[in-house]
Structure 1
Amino acid sequence: MSFQRTRMSADRTLMSVIRTSLSLISFGFTIVQAFEKLAINKLLHDSHATRNFGVSLVCLGIIMLAIGILYHLRFMQGLRHTREEMTENGLIHGESVFPTSFTLVTAIILLGIGVVAVLSIVLNIGPFG
């Protein structure tokens, strides 16, 4: 049971990373879009500072998410290794499976969306441009 609790704890940690990076990505994207619309409508002077700030928030969210995914993968790899060692030594029964984390799948999909968003902002291409 302790392995399941540890795994769920690692998933909760990754979910908090997802939540924070999603906030950074969406807030940065919103800043860029809002200030571009204001500049198009001549309500605000076109400033590269706000665009750069928005892009940096999106990039920060992407970097944070990538580091969170790598940390999660390394932690789960170590947990699997410890579980295998304990099973080999007869300390635990290793009969239950160690399924793929849906939180990890969600994080990877969000990372892809974040990369597409930053490319869309910087290069003015793609679905968000």
Structure 2
Amino acid sequence: MAGPELKLDVNTELAARRTGMAFQRTRLAEDRTLMAVIRTALSLIGFGFTIFQFFQKLRDQNLVTHAGAPRHFGMALVWLGVLMLALGIAYHVQFMLGLRRLRQSMRDEGLIHGETAFPVSLTLITALLLLATGVAAIASMQFDIGPFG
């Protein structure tokens, strides 16, 4: 009787470990998704700010008399990037909280060990810093203040 019982324990242990690793893979996949959002938002913010600054400099040097439309387009790109980043951060936080709750409930039921840490995402911290930079760029562009004005 010890043989089949031992085999069941080994299979249960392997299943618990595989499930625990699946949680880690899911967490890393969500980090990669947030990195893709960061990459796209950074491109939008960067392009928009560059367009805005380019036409601002042309206007300041009196090389163009009316550069309103391109400047508004640049500002719209920055706004779009910041909005996209804010939504990406909100989705990431919501997803990760749900994943943590599910992992904790499975750990409480003894289905997984949950011995490995589930740390705060460095990708999320980077996204928050980029969001602050985007908001500063918008304030600079809108009110012609700060280091970007």
TM-score relative to the length of structure 2 = 0.84
Cα-to-partner distance string for 1:17-63 (whole Å, 9 max, x where unaligned)? 00000000010000010011112223223221111111110000000
* SS, match of residue 78 in structure 1: helix
1:51 corresponds to which residue? Answer: 71
1:1-129 matches, cutoff 5 A: 1-129=21-149
Structure 2 unaligned regions, length at least 5: 1-20
Structure 1 unaligned regions, length at least 5: none
CA distance in 2, matches of 1:99, 1:58: 31
The one-letter code of the counterpart of 2:82 is I
Cα-to-partner distance string for 1:66-117 (whole Å, 9 max, x where unaligned)? 0000000000000000100110111100211111100000000000000000
2:3 corresponds to which residue? Answer: none
When structure 1 is superposed on structure 2, of 31-40 and 114-123 the one drifting more is 31-40
CA distance in 2, matches of 1:15, 1:68: 9
The one-letter code of the counterpart of 1:67 is L
The one-letter code of the counterpart of 2:30 is A
Larger Rg: 2
How many pairs align?
Answer: 129
CA distance in 2, matches of 1:54, 1:116: 15
CA distance in 1, matches of 2:112, 2:134: 41
Please list every run of at least 4 consecutive aligned residues from structure 1 whose deviation after the TM superposition is greater than 3 angstroms.
none
When structure 1 is superposed on structure 2, of 78-87 and 88-97 the one drifting more is 88-97
